[in-house]
Structures are given as C-alpha cells and as structure tokens.
Chains A and B, each alone.
Chain A
C-alpha cells in the first residue's frame, strides 16, 4: 500500500513533483558547472597554445637576427682573408717557379686525393681518429 497516495494523494504528487524539481535543478547545476569548467580549461589551453606559438616565433626571430649578425661579421673578416690568401698564393707561385715542371709522384697524388675526400666528408672514405689515410700503403697501378 502506498502510504503517500493513501494518506493524501495530493501530498504524494507534490512530493514527487518536488523530487523531480530537485533532480532537475541538480542536473542543471551540474551541467552548468561542467560547461563552465570545460570552457575554462579550453580557454587555458588556447592561452597556453598562443603563448607557446608566440615564444617559438620570438625565438625564430632572434635566431634570424643572430644569423644575420654572424653573416655580417663573417663577411667583414672574409674580405681581409681573401686578399691575404690571394696575395700569398701569388707569392708562393713566384717563389716556387723552379718547381713548375717537377712531376708529383702518382702515389702522392692518390694519397692526397684520399685525404681530401676524407676532409670533404665523403662517407666512403674511412677517416676516423687513429686511422691512416685511406688507401695508404697500396701500390699504385
């Protein structure tokens, strides 16, 4: 036997309506809080992304400035060096005129070319620390 409806049907309906109203209010407040929380988290996430993107762009701009400064510095020193090397090359050529016709042995050329390949970073040329010049000791053809 239902006590509420038996005692007073109207009171029972009112109690049920009240319960439903409370449940509805609770659901609404939870949903509102959930939406507010989600919006807050989203806003923080967006702000963090914007800040990170800005930091990346600022770092890239700083790097470009530093690169330009380095290039400028290099260009200034390169001009003086270019003049010095050109003049030295001419003087060395003049000083070694008597060697103009002296042939360089083929073995020496081979070894020098192997060393040059190593200096160029040619992966086929093994030139680790402690290694000899690649191909050294091999008889020339």
Chain B
C-alpha cells in the first residue's frame, strides 16, 4: 500500500501515486478473486 504524499508534490508525483494505488487495489482484488475461485462452494 502506498505511503502518504509528501507536503509538496507535483502533478506528476500525484499521477505516480495514483498508479501505485491502482496497483495496490488490483493486487488485493486479484488475491481475493483467486481465493474465491479456488475455494469450493
């Protein structure tokens, strides 16, 4: 999970930070989805 933003950041830093969050979200969702698919219902 990404760290907090520093006090002064540029728009490009913000874009990088946003992408880190997108990655973190996709990672968590992937784990959850793999567990759901692997577990019998």
Contact = CB atoms under 8 A, between A and B. Distances in A.
A92 B13 CA distance: 11
A69 B33 CA distance: 12
Nearest to A102: B11
A85 interface: yes
A119 B16 CA distance: 17
A101 B14 CA distance: 11
A104 B13 contact: yes
Interface string B1-25: 1101111111111111101011100
B25 to A, nearest CB: 9
Given A70-B37, A71-B34, A93 B7 contact: no
B-side interface size class: 20 to 34
Contacts of A69: 38
Contact of B38 (A70, A88, A101, A102): A70
Interface string A96-119: 110111111010010011001101
A77 interface: yes
Given A85-B26, A92-B15, A109-B9, A73 B38 contact: yes
A104 B17 CA distance: 12
Contact of A100 (B10, B23, B26, B27): B10
A113 B30 CA distance: 24
Contacts of A106: 7-8
B1 to A, nearest CB: 5
Interface of A: 66-67, 69-71, 73-74, 77-78, 81, 85, 88-89, 92-93, 96-97, 99-104, 106, 109, 112-113, 116-117, 119-120
